[in-house]
Amino acid sequence: MTFWDENAETLPRDKLEELQVKRLKDTVARCRKSIFYRNRFKDVDESRFRKPEDVALLPFTTKNDLRMNYDFGLVTVPRDEIVRMHSSSGTTGKATVIFHTRRDIETWSDLVARCIVMTGANKADVFQNIISYGMFTGGLGLHYGAEKVGMLTIPSGVGNTKRQIQLMKDFNTTVFHATPSYILYVSEVMVQEGYDPKEFDLRIGFVGAEPHSEQTRQRIEDIYDIDAFNSYGMSELNGPGVAFECEEKNGMHFWEDQYLLEVVNPQTGEKLAPGEEGELVVTTLGREAMPIIRYRTGDLARIVDDGDKCACGRTHVRISRIKGRCDDMLIVRGVNLYPSQIEDVLMSFPEVATNYQILVEREGALDSLTVKVELYPKMFDGDLRKLKKLESDITKTIQEDIVVRPKVEFHEPGSLPRTEGKAVRVIDTRGEM
Ligand code: AMP
Ligand code: ZN
């Protein structure tokens, strides 16, 4: 078993919590240098904090707080100490911008290096970073971590799929980083181009940046014959390197020496017990340029509460797959559902190809739910009975899971829209009247 930073990754829980309290106090003190927090923390006496849970004495920070304090409102260092700016990929409202000092970039790259090594990847690997570079943090975040590990790093970015395949072949890529939706698309193009996705030298994939189900991970693993590891992060918390799966693939280790995690009820903000699903709320514990306290991530997950220490030896808590964002929840005919539940069902049918779309409309007074699904070409051989049976099986299985009965529509591979960045799975036209 290898570690990037064995001491930090295996710190006994009592030592880890001690460190959290110390860093929390330092972070609150540092926050007072920012315009935004100075006022907020007027009446806070952090010297009285004794345990990590004392963080709950502080108010939440929301995305709206970041927006309202655009541009430098949360910054705690002089302008000339800032070396990097990133932005969140949200498409609505004003952008949120995040700043880093040189030390912040070092700390971040170290966290990413921990994640990489935790999956069994190492400096002998050739790493193709198939994700967008630029203000989005997925590109540069993994890039710096991979170089730190010493991998041959190919910054291929996203898009130009045939060239991606060529690079994989010419340079014997062994590890990639991509969104699950794009890497599944790459496999389809490989097949069209006459390749077998298994014939490449790939052995490990880092997949993240968008919600995806366990079934989708297994698809990626089967198609490419690799191990795929879930990668979680967000620009407000640096980007990738917040939580990542180890070789046990039993939840993502959340790096608690740098991030203090709470899981709260998204409606009331109250703390939930370990194992209960809720919104992740995170405090940065080491960031210099722009510390953030109790950030409402909007992401839904739970702490893996199996009572066991992870077999990999790391002591940091594990979180489940991200179910979606609180605002991804759809209410269809009064039933609450998440797109990831539908994905889970679809990906369990081997006839279903890799792309789908969920359409919610209003028909008269009623909501209607249509699931558009791409099927593999072999399904379009003129055997209508086979298609009818598949349609009824998928409809029934979705209905069993989410109660609402969907209309299921089949499409040829490549016919539904795709994005190169985060996949857009849901079109909801009900508000457009
Ligand atoms: P951005 O700040 O633009 O990188 O977007 C971050 C958001 O992407 C997170 O808040 C999550 O909603 C989503 N995200 C990132 N990684 C994952 C993952 N592994 N699984 C599910 N959602 C993810
Ligand atoms: Zn582990």
Ligand having the closest approach to the CA of 324: 1
pLDDT value of residue 92:
59
Residues at CB less than 6 angstroms from ligand 1: 88-89, 137, 208-211, 230-235, 239, 297, 299, 322, 325
pLDDT value of residue 421:
83
pLDDT over 90 (residue 21): yes
In the chain, pLDDT over 70 holds for what percent of residues?
A: 99
pLDDT over 60 (residue 294): yes
pLDDT over 80 (residue 93): no
The rounded mean pLDDT for the chain is: 95
pLDDT over 70 (residue 408): yes
pLDDT value of residue 94:
73
pLDDT tens for residues 166-192? 999 999 999 999 999 999 999 999 999
Query: In which band, very low, low, confident or very high, does the pLDDT at 420 lie, cut at 50, 70 and 90?
Result: confident
- Mutating to test ligand 1, I would choose from 322, 326, 340, 425 the residue with most ligand atoms within 8 A of its C-beta, which is 322
pLDDT value of residue 433:
54
Ligand having the closest approach to the CA of 228: 1
Query: What mean pLDDT do residues 142-156 have?
Result: 98
Query: In which band, very low, low, confident or very high, does the pLDDT at 74 lie, cut at 50, 70 and 90?
Result: very high
Protein residues within 5 Å, CB atom, of ion ligand 2? 246, 248, 310, 312, 314
Query: What mean pLDDT do residues 400-408 have?
Result: 94
Report the nearest atom of ligand 1 relative to the CA of 239.
Answer: 4
pLDDT tens for residues 181-235? 999 999 999 999 999 999 999 999 999 999 999 999 999 999 999 999 999 999 9
Query: What mean pLDDT do residues 344-369 have?
Result: 94
Query: In which band, very low, low, confident or very high, does the pLDDT at 91 lie, cut at 50, 70 and 90?
Result: low
Q: How many angstroms separate the alpha carbon of residue 408 from the centre of ligand 2?
A: 39
* Residue predicted with more confidence, 88 or 263: 263
pLDDT tens for residues 97-124? 999 999 999 999 999 999 999 999 999 9
Query: In which band, very low, low, confident or very high, does the pLDDT at 403 lie, cut at 50, 70 and 90?
Result: very high
| 3-class SS string, the chain | CCCCCHHHHCCCHHHHHHHHHHHHHHHHHHHCCCHHHHHHCCCCCHHHCCCHHHHHHCCCECHHHHHHCCCCCCCCCCHHHEEEEEECCCCCCCCCEEEEEHHHHHHHHHHHHHHHHHCCCCCCCEEEECCCCCCCHHHHHHHHHHHHHCCEEECCCCCCHHHHHHHHHHCCCCEEEECHHHHHHHHHHHHHCCCCHHHCCCCEEEEECCCCCHHHHHHHHHHHCCEEEEEEEEHHHCEEEEEEECCCCCCEEECCCCEEEEEECCCCCCECCCCCCEEEEEEECCCCCCCCCCEEEEEEECECCCCCCCCCCCCCCEECCCCEEHHHCEEECCEEECHHHHHHHHCCCCCEEEEEEEEEEEECCEEEEEEEEEECHHHCCCCHHHHHHHHHHHHHHHHHHHCCCCEEEEECCCCCCCCCCCCCCEEECCCCC
Ligand having the closest approach to the CA of 248: 2
